[in-house]
Chain A
Amino acid sequence: MASSTSIETAPKSTDTLLPKLDFSAGSLDLVVEFGGGLDALIKQELLKNVNGAKQAQIKFPKQIDQHPATIQDLIFHLRDFYVKDKPELFCVGDKVRPGILVIINEMDWEIVEDNADEYAYKLQDKDHIAFISTLHGG
Chain B
Amino acid sequence: MPRQCDICQCARAIIRRPKTGQRICKECFFHVFETEVHHTIVDGRLFSPGDRVGIGASGGKDSTVLAYMMKTLNERYNYGLELFLLSVDEGIAGYRDDSLETVKRNKEQYGLPLMIVSYEQLYGWSMDAIVEAVGRKNNCTFCGVFRRQALDRGALMLDLDHIVTGHNADDVAETILMNLLRGDIPRLGRCTEITTAGDGYIGRSKPFKYAYEKEIVMYAYLKRLDYFSTECTYSPNAYRGYARQFLKDLESVRPSAIIDIIHSGEAIKVSEEVQVQRPSSCERCGYISSNPICKACALLEGLERGIPKLGISRSAKHVDASATDISVGQTQKSTHHQAVEPVHFERLREKALEMRMRRMNGDANPCAAPCDDSCHGTTCVCATDDDCAGGGCH
Residues of B within 8 A of A36 (CB): 61, 217, 229
Residue of B nearest to A33 (CB): B221
Summed over the interface, the residue pairs from A and B with CB atoms below 8 Å come to a total of 79
A111–B2 CA distance with the chains assembled, in angstroms: 7
Residue of A nearest to B18 (CB): A110
Residues of A within 8 A of B252 (CB): 98
Q: Does B2 contact A130, Cβ atoms closer than 8 Å?
A: no
Q: Does B232 contact A137, Cβ atoms closer than 8 Å?
A: yes
A132–B16 CA distance with the chains assembled, in angstroms: 16
A35–B251 CA distance with the chains assembled, in angstroms: 21
Q: Does B221 contact A35, Cβ atoms closer than 8 Å?
A: yes
Q: Does A132 contact B221, Cβ atoms closer than 8 Å?
A: yes
Q: Does A136 contact B231, Cβ atoms closer than 8 Å?
A: yes
Q: Which of A103, A110, A114, A138 contacts B221 (CB 8 A)?
A: A103
Majority SS at the chain A contact face: loop
Residue of B nearest to A108 (CB): B15
Determine whether A106 belongs to the interface, using a CB cutoff of 8 Å to chain B. yes
Chain B, residues 38-64, CB within 8 Å of chain A (1/0): the string is: 000000000000000000001011111
Q: Does B214 contact A111, Cβ atoms closer than 8 Å?
A: no
Chain B, residues 217-256, CB within 8 Å of chain A (1/0): the string is: 1100110101001111000000000001100110110000
A48 to chain B, nearest CB (A): 17
Q: Does B221 contact A130, Cβ atoms closer than 8 Å?
A: yes
Q: Does A138 contact B15, Cβ atoms closer than 8 Å?
A: no
Chain A, residues 56-84, CB within 8 Å of chain B (1/0): the string is: 00000000000000000000000000000
Chain A, residues 29-53, CB within 8 Å of chain B (1/0): the string is: 0000001110010000000000010
Q: Does B26 contact A138, Cβ atoms closer than 8 Å?
A: no
Determine whether A2 belongs to the interface, using a CB cutoff of 8 Å to chain B. no
Q: Does A110 contact B16, Cβ atoms closer than 8 Å?
A: yes
Q: Does A37 contact B231, Cβ atoms closer than 8 Å?
A: yes
Chain A, residues 124-138, CB within 8 Å of chain B (1/0): the string is: 000000101111111
Residues of A within 8 A of B268 (CB): none
Q: Which of A112, A114, A138 contacts B60 (CB 8 A)?
A: A138
Q: Does A106 contact B14, Cβ atoms closer than 8 Å?
A: yes
Residue of B nearest to A51 (CB): B224
Q: Does B61 contact A138, Cβ atoms closer than 8 Å?
A: yes
A16–B5 CA distance with the chains assembled, in angstroms: 45
Query: In the complex where A35-B221, A106-B26, A107-B2 touch, is A136 in contact with B248 (Cβ < 8 A)?
Result: no
Determine whether A99 belongs to the interface, using a CB cutoff of 8 Å to chain B. yes
Q: Within B314-355, which residues are at the interface with A (CB < 8 Å)?
A: none
A101–B214 CA distance with the chains assembled, in angstroms: 7
Residues of B within 8 A of A133 (CB): 229
Query: In the complex where A106-B222, A138-B166 touch, is A111 in contact with B231 (Cβ < 8 A)?
Result: no
Residue of B nearest to A105 (CB): B14
Residue of B nearest to A130 (CB): B221
Q: Does B60 contact A134, Cβ atoms closer than 8 Å?
A: no
Q: Does A111 contact B3, Cβ atoms closer than 8 Å?
A: yes
B58 to chain A, nearest CB (A): 7
Q: Does B218 contact A101, Cβ atoms closer than 8 Å?
A: yes
B253 to chain A, nearest CB (A): 9
Q: Does A111 contact B16, Cβ atoms closer than 8 Å?
A: yes
Residues of A within 8 A of B216 (CB): 134, 138
4 more CB-based (< 8 A) A-B contacts, given A111-B23, A138-B58: A98-B249, A98-B252, A107-B13, A135-B248
**24 pairs, CB–CB < 8 Å, chain A vs chain B:** A35-B221, A36-B61, A36-B217, A40-B230, A52-B226, A98-B249, A99-B244, A101-B214, A101-B218, A107-B13, A111-B3, A111-B13, A111-B14, A111-B15, A111-B16, A112-B2, A114-B2, A132-B217, A134-B170, A135-B244, A136-B61, A136-B231, A137-B232, A138-B171
7 closest Cβ pairs, A-B complex: A138-B62, A37-B229, A138-B60, A98-B248, A136-B229, A99-B248, A98-B252
